[in-house]
Chain A
Amino acid sequence: MSLASEILLSLLVVSGGVFTFIGSLGLWRLRDFYTRLHGPTKATTLGVGCLLIASSIHSGLSGDGLSVHEILVSLFLFITAPVSAHLLAKAALHRRLESLAALPHDPAPPPTHVALPDRASPCGGPLRDGT
């Protein structure tokens, strides 16, 4: 194995481990379920993705040829991660979990309440007319 390929493999392996760790760190540190849901997706896509690319390159360099299993695992994880995240978010909404995000503002009042400028008086209002 040449030096360049070993450096590439080491970078991929370390970055995969770092991303996996960051995903679980987000799961532990974030304060709200809806933000916590966002953390482990990095571990799924970037972390395991980097590790699988590294493993594929490794098995290709060691003479076994590119194996299909890595591609299968990454394809399966990439397909299933959004589905499970969507179901978990739906379950959390169903259980009415509190979110840290502010509620959206009340809908705008009906247009009759909006004070339109009075076009009849040029000074802007009836009170200023006498001055």
Chain B
Amino acid sequence: MLSTALTIAFALVGAAFTLSFLRLLKGPDATDRILALDTLYINAVALLVLLGIQLDSPLYFEAALLIALMGFVGTVALAKFLLRGDIIE
């Protein structure tokens, strides 16, 4: 039962990746693209957690934690650049 649930969840997260990527390509403004990148890294965290459940390995959580950290830093840097025209003043 768990393997079926994992397959369904993998498909849903893959569809979520597709929709965020479409928004990243379309996005009328730069803020939409940054938001799409933000959603993409959150989807990547979800995918890594699912992989960790399926392969029963604690290794993937380190990667998920790193992606969460770096994704947050990237979002903040891009939004700061839009706000101020500079990242580190």
Residues of A within 8 A of B (CB): 1, 6-7, 9-11, 13-14, 16-18, 20-21, 23-25, 27-28, 33, 36-37, 40, 43-44, 47-48, 51-52, 54-55, 58-59, 62, 64, 67, 69-70, 72-73, 76-77, 80, 83-84, 87-88, 90-92, 94-95, 97
Q: By DSSP majority rule, is chain B's interface helix, strand, loop, or mixed?
A: helix
Partner of B61, one of A23, A69, A90: A69
Q: By DSSP majority rule, is chain A's interface helix, strand, loop, or mixed?
A: helix
Chain B residues, Cβ within 8 Å of A10:
1-2, 4-5
Q: How many A-B residue pairs have CB under 8 A?
A: 169
Binary interface profile of B, 1-13, with partner A (CB < 8 Å = 1, else 0)?
A: 1101110111111
* Cα-based distance from A10 to B19 in the complex (angstroms): 24
Q: Is B22 in contact with A95, judged by CB distance below 8 angstroms?
A: no
A10-B5, A17-B9 as given contacts; A43 in contact with B79, CB under 8 Å: no
* Cα-based distance from A14 to B12 in the complex (angstroms): 9
Q: How many chain B residues have a CB neighbour from A under 8 Å?
A: 51
A40-B42, A90-B79, A91-B82 as given contacts; A20 in contact with B65, CB under 8 Å: no
Q: Is B13 in contact with A17, judged by CB distance below 8 angstroms?
A: yes
* Cα-based distance from A76 to B57 in the complex (angstroms): 21
Chain A residues, Cβ within 8 Å of B5:
9-11, 13-14
B83 within 8 A of A: yes
A9-B5, A20-B43 as given contacts; A77 in contact with B68, CB under 8 Å: yes
Q: Is B61 in contact with A73, judged by CB distance below 8 angstroms?
A: yes
Please name 9 further chain A to chain B contacts, defined as beta carbons within 8 Å, in addition to the given A33-B31, A44-B42, A87-B79, sorted by A numbering. Answer: A13-B5, A13-B9, A20-B16, A24-B18, A24-B19, A33-B32, A55-B61, A64-B58, A77-B45
Partner of A27, one of B10, B36, B49, B56: B36
Q: Is B79 in contact with A25, judged by CB distance below 8 angstroms?
A: no
Listed A/B pairs (19) with beta-carbon separation below 8 Å: A6-B2, A13-B53, A14-B5, A17-B8, A20-B16, A20-B42, A21-B15, A24-B15, A33-B31, A48-B46, A51-B9, A51-B49, A69-B61, A73-B45, A73-B64, A76-B65, A77-B42, A87-B76, A97-B31
